[in-house]
Structure 1
């Protein structure tokens, strides 16, 4: 490699035109050399005896080597493109070309060869680094699987207690030596002047966990009461603050104590791992206790975030202290066991004790939860909402608890300990996630409220609509909550490692599946597809609920537009969920397209009407000639559009019944949409008064009735016209407008009541044009035949 670099430098010195590429190429080759050296170091250090932390470090280093190789390959590919471009400019070899052109052509050829070799080397290095990282992860997963499948004698038999008693004297000596080493370290630290540092750490720790913690709690509560707006953010903000203070302050106190002892030289080398585990256990135990206090709020029920009774809160609070104590005790027991080098039977006994502690703790929590649910069922005084999720989680927890107990009794102690601890870890992650979800949503929606300070500042300073600020808050809340959910999933799955399937790799070989054509379907694939479909439908339902209840109400869209967006999002999500499930079965998109094309003929004939309505529904949702809230007339029926789906439209008519109209009827036939272009309704009045009546008085009275009618709009202004004069009467035609066609009928009725009451009082006869009957070939003809006047002679008959 050194010879290649020297050759490249000499060649480039001979060709100044290409000297600008020296630095990038040399730097990339040197970086590949360094990455290759790192890879060799990781490969040499990796073995099956590496601890979990060492394996994680080596896996991270291997990933860094892979990334470095990919970066250098990208840089070299860019340089190769530049060299190829210059070679293309020289063109093919021509007879009699000058020596300079020949030298440049040779130089470019050498550069292409060297860069191409470096690119191949970088790609190979990236592949090897990726394989090494995979191998390290597989080794971790195999070690985890081996530990979980390890079986010892059952604690119920003598085979378990006999070796434990036989090795007990040796374990006692090792434990005594372990504690004696720490005693010697304390004595030695005292002699060398380490007492002040240790005392300082102790005093600082006591100050943090005592006065500092209480002061911070009081300050947070006082700030929330005095400064935070009166909404739910007060409760969530206070709960979040109490959790942060209750978690970090005790953890910092533990760190302060351990740091002081280390600074004073009072921690033995064999106790260093125990001290580290003590700091971690303090953090987790403090988190459990702080979460319990913040969420239960047994002394201040009005600040409680979760909907439980006071009795349930008082019953659950001691269990959170017990969970903290069990967590701290189990971590310290395992650390002491590993630090002293306990025998195999002693290690199994410690695992059995810790598993039994966790099983008892989980059993207490489940029994308390069952009593709380039973009390709610007995009271049954209010709707507690959908409890299906809680019931499923409770059944799952009971199942895991029973499996853990059976594993403990049958000798799978490590697996039992893992399961019982995992239930508690799940509960801690779930409680933390719930608190963070509520707090983030409250903070985002409060800070970016359309009537808040931020909205006022953006509206007055930049002209941003308040609704946009509100929408941003809702969207930001959704994104942050989604990120928190993903982080929680990662935290929940962390105890399993990144290669969980290796634990059950033997099960996967039992059923290889059935191959049909080029598609292989196995029971595992079917279950996976069902799980994927269920997850997809759950996500679609959550997004639909968020759109309908949170995001769309924050917009300025009308009800029809909201319905269109929600329906399109729903069916798009359903289609994607189905495609995702089919893909998890091993059915690719091209096979799905082939299947749909094969079914298209059958769909065209057998499902023609449904397809037509479906396409018409999509057109309605897109073009929106009819939208939710419109007042439409179809045939002799008219009413409000209540719902538009992809198959039919629901219209509520006057008798409160629902008219279901296929969407194709709304697309292919004529309908009257009274609120499409203008939502106003028009009232038309037609009446007549006798000729010779005071028309000015009639106009004044009618306009006065319009003015006194509250539903009549001032703009457009109401009007009254003389339509015609016929048969001794003056025919009037009046118009007025109301804010909706739905108000026309009632308002017109009120106006008629007033007209029929007030005009006759003013001496004005109100009526319509009289009808006349004229006798053909007979008498009389004229006014005598007016209906209501003198009756005709019954002896007169028209001639044939």
Structure 2
């Protein structure tokens, strides 16, 4: 028992020691990550030195691309190290700030002094590592730029390489000299291929190759047709929106037209490989054939998706059926030429034929391409001539001028055609004088590659725009979910769809630029590296602005505005109705809360961008002078709006008169106030007008309305009787209040008539005018029933002769 317990204790001790030994490196690394970062930087520096030595010896594009990838990894390591070191520097600075500076005349405790010394040493080490990482990043970028420049220079040297011209005897003499050796090399390769086939057939693997061929036939013909028709039926019956149907069906044709033939070729290739009918000699040619078939299928499917030769209503390009039918054969010519180009170049390289065979093959490919491009240009010219003749005939028949837009489109096509003609002629001239590589580059890249890239991204741009704007539309299912579930306005959903479509299309445009620059010596890796440099951002002062930071700030701003919207909804729907505030006070409170929430959301977004409050205050102080002069009126209205919301001299629902306009206050914002007039029109008044000028507020302190009735009766009528009639009429009118009580006064006695001035009150100024009209009608009716003449003092105009006018003047003259 004792021995067994000893063994158990020994096992536990062994396990603990092993655990400590294993955990000690991790603990050291956790406690001091700076050492590991420094080690990684040293390794990355050695990698840069190795790449620099290798860059002087490489001579192929693939090797240079591999070196660029290694430099990208070094830059990523330097960036990660910088992030870690910045965090460690922040921790050290925080500790130094916690200890505080050295106070003159006071001696620190030994442990504090030792701690300060260790922190200073650690800060110096981290600062040195940060500088080393930045220098390493710069060195890696400079070396990558040098490799890219070497690649461009190599491409330029290949363009300047001159071979014998096909018009000179030297060209044909070189062919004659190199033919025996190349024929022997081809014969040996064919013998090896036949031997590999025989070995595979003896092994009984022929049925696998046959099965691969059957699968290829099924994939390449009936499966492809069936999938294309299934996509068309879905686009007609189930796809939402007319635009998405067209672009979606075009994308479906592109995908199926590319994938199915490529899979068919892959089935044949895998069947040959699994059956053992291929060897190491034919493997590069087989891989090139797969790529060639896939590329040719892509070009043919792209042309079919854009032209839609037999389905004009689904066509994306603005061309008629005749042009589509005329262009489609040339698309397949381009596809076959591209596949043949890839396959021939790979075959010549795999068979290791002579240099003469290489430039003869390039010359032949360039010649065939030139003939194809020339035929396409002649076809386009014939179509343009026919379209021009038809347009002129139609204009003569209808006696109407030609459409300017169509003329501009034809002019643009004419310019493009002229440029292609010039490039084609330059390529033909270069081929005739012996610059075969340059001629092949012009036909292969400057014309065909650009056409393929432009066509592809034209389709992608249209597809992305249609899909995004259809999904994020107010009428779509997603739009209904966002509108009902989240409460987003329909117009905001449409705006988001347009903005998202623009952002995605911008990204596709950047990818298109990368693809266009790839054949010109700027590979995909180097171009992406340059975009990555831009994506890493620019530094303005202490603020680093990058696309990622901008996207993060936009996301934070959107989240902040959404939270503000939810808070304001809770404030308006739940909290404010439980208070004793009236509608106007609630509106003022909600308006102030709304602007505070928006300001906080904006500040949050700026903070996520790296712009702190102190920088915002500095920016506002710098712009204060310009704001004071340039935005004086807006600032005045804004401050006046805040005063209105705070002091509330004018509230929502008040009946106010501004000048000659009178109406109800409907809305108060920080810039203006909306007043609904009697004719239901809206008067928009700047807030400064309500603060600095005289405003009559009829309902500010007392919501009662007052009506006034004035009339006169003859002097022989009893006044008490008239007064009682008026008071009885006021009492009978339901809109006239009993408190304050109505009153009727004798205002004056003029020219034998008694003038009455009567007053009454209603519950609102808005009802005083109808009540006054009703009271006047009842008073007139009662006085008519009593046969009392009501009206005003009659005035008479009398014209006197001149002598009577003089007599009256003399009679009234006080001097006389």
- TM exceeds 0.5? yes
Partner of 1:136: 147
State yes or no: 1:33 paired with 2:56.
no
1:386 partnered with 2:408: yes
User: What does residue 423 of structure 2 align with?
Assistant: 400
Q: Show the counterpart of 1:79.
A: 88
Deviation at 1:57, TM superposition (A): 1.8
| Contact preservation (8 Å) 1:236, 1:305 | yes
Partners of 2:383 and 2:489 in 1: how far apart? 47
Q: How does 1:354-753 map to 2 (within 5 A)?
A: 354-380=365-391, 381=394, 383=403, 384=406, 386-387=408-409, 388-422=411-445, 423-498=447-522, 677=683
Q: State the partner residue of 2:70.
A: 61
**What's the offset of the Cα at 1:104?**
3.0
Matches within 5 A, 1:13-28: 22-28=31-37
1:91-130 equivalences in 2 (<5 Å): 91-92=101-102, 98-130=109-141
Structure 1 position 162, deviation (Å): 0.8
Task: Please say if residues 774 and 780 of structure 1, whose CA atoms lie closer than 8 Å, have aligned partners that are also in contact.
Answer: no
The alpha-carbon deviation at position 470 of structure 1 amounts to: 1.6
Distance 1:37 1:206 in 2: 54
Label 1:442 to 1:160 Cα distance change in 2 as closer, same or farther (>3 A). Answer: same
Q: Distance in 1 between matches of 2:803 and 2:365?
A: 120
Any stretches of 5+ residues in structure 1 without a counterpart? 1-12, 503-614, 624-673, 680-770, 782-800
Quick one: distance in 1 between partners of 2:341 and 2:142?
Answer: 36
- Contact kept, 8 Å, 1:200 with 1:260, in 2: the verdict is yes
Q: Quote the offset at 1:208 in angstroms.
A: 1.7
Counterpart of 2:552 in structure 1 is: none
Q: Deviations over 1:2-42 (max 9, x none)?
A: xxxxxxxxxxx9xxxx9897332122123223323433443
Indicate how the Cα distance of structure 1 residues 419 and 780 shifts in structure 2: closer, same or farther if over 3 A, else same: farther
Please list the CA deviations of residues 727-758 of structure 1 after superposition, one character each: whole Å capped at 9, or x if unmatched.
xxxxxxxxxxxxxxxxxxxxxxxxxxxxxxxx
Give 1:291 shift.
Answer: 1.6
C-alpha distance in structure 2 between counterparts of 1:164 and 1:290, whole Å: 38
Query: Aligned-pair distance for 1:619?
Result: 9.5
- Which deviations, in whole Å up to 9, do the C-alpha atoms of 1:275-310 show, x marking residues without a partner? 332222222211111122222222222222223232
* Structure 1 residue 213, shift from structure 2 partner: 0.9
Give the match for residue 341 of structure 1: 352
What stretches of structure 2 of length at least 5 have no aligned partner?
1-23, 395-401, 527-628, 638-679, 686-794, 806-816
Task: Specify the SS of the correspondent of 1:392.
Answer: helix
1:158: which partner in 2? 169
| Coordinate RMSD, CA, aligned | 3.6
Report how far residue 205 of structure 1 moved. Answer: 2.5
- 1:421 to 1:192, Cα distance in 2 relative to 1, 3 A: same
Q: 1:313 to 1:37 in 2, by over 3 A?
A: same
Listed one character per residue, the Cα deviations across residues 192-232 of structure 1 (whole Å, up to 9, x for unaligned) are 55445544443333222122211211110111111124623
User: Matched residues in 1 for 2:374 and 2:172: separation?
Assistant: 26
The whole-number CA distance in structure 1 between the counterparts of 2:335 and 2:35 is 57
Q: CA deviation at 1:617?
A: 14
Residue range with higher mean Cα deviation, 235-244 or 79-88: 79-88
In structure 1, C-alpha distance between the alignment counterparts of 2:803 and 2:452, rounded to whole Å: 105
TM-score, length-scaled by structure 1: 0.59
**Aligned-residue offset at 1:246:** 0.4
- Structure 2 CA distance for aligned equivalents of residues 322 and 274 of structure 1: 22
CA distance in 2 between partners of 1:489 and 1:350 (Å): 30
CA contact (8 A) 1:21 1:79 kept: no
Deviations 1:408-443 (A, max 9, x none): 111111100010112011111222222222222222
CA 1:264/1:27 → structure 2, altered by over 3 Å: closer, same or farther?
farther
Distance 2:106 2:488 in 1: 70
Q: Note closer, same or farther for the CA distance 1:69–1:156 as it changes in structure 2 (3 Å cut).
A: same
For the structure 1 residues 481 and 344, does the alpha-carbon distance in structure 2 shift closer, same or farther, using more than 3 Å as the test? same
Task: Pick closer, same or farther for the CA change 1:352–1:34 going to 2, 3 Å.
Answer: same
TM-score, normalising length from structure 2?
Answer: 0.57
Which residue pairs with 1:277 in the alignment?
Answer: 288
- SS of the residue corresponding to residue 683 of structure 2 reads coil
How many angstroms apart in 1 are the aligned matches of 2:92 and 2:30?
9
How much does 1:109 deviate?
4.2
CA deviations on 1:525-549 (whole Å, 9 max, x unpaired) are xxxxxxxxxxxxxxxxxxxxxxxxx
Range that drifts further, 92-101 or 169-178: 92-101
1:170 to 2:181 alignment: yes
Residue by residue over 1:741-785, the C-alpha shift from the partner in whole angstroms, topping out at 9 and shown as x without a partner, is: xxxxxxxxxxxxxxxxxxxxxxxxxxxxxx99964526999xxxx
Partners in 2 of 1:619 and 1:414 — Cα distance? Answer: 68
Contact in 2 for aligned 1:407/1:416 (Cα 8 Å): yes
- The one-character-per-residue Cα deviations of 1:615-667 (angstroms, maximum 9, x if unpaired) are 999999x99xxxxxxxxxxxxxxxxxxxxxxxxxxxxxxxxxxxxxxxxxxxx
SS of equivalent residue, structure 2 residue 282: helix
Partner of 1:247: 258
Which whole-Å CA distance do the structure 1 matches of 2:338 and 2:295 have between them? Answer: 8
Match of 2:51 in 1: 42
**2:58 touches 2:64 (CA, 8 Å); kept in 1?**
no
Give 1:271 shift: 3.0
- In the TM superposition, residue 340 of structure 1 has moved relative to its aligned partner by 1.4
Q: Does the C-alpha gap of structure 1 residues 274 and 773 become closer, same or farther in structure 2, counting only changes over 3 Å?
A: farther
Could you tell me which residue of structure 2 aligns to residue 212 of structure 1? 223
SS of structure 1 residue aligned to 2:166: coil
* Cα deviation digits, residues 577-627 of structure 1 (max 9, x gap): xxxxxxxxxxxxxxxxxxxxxxxxxxxxxxxxxxxxxx999999x99xxxx
Contact 2:472 / 2:496 at 8 angstroms: preserved in 1? Answer: yes
Aligned equivalent of 1:689:
none
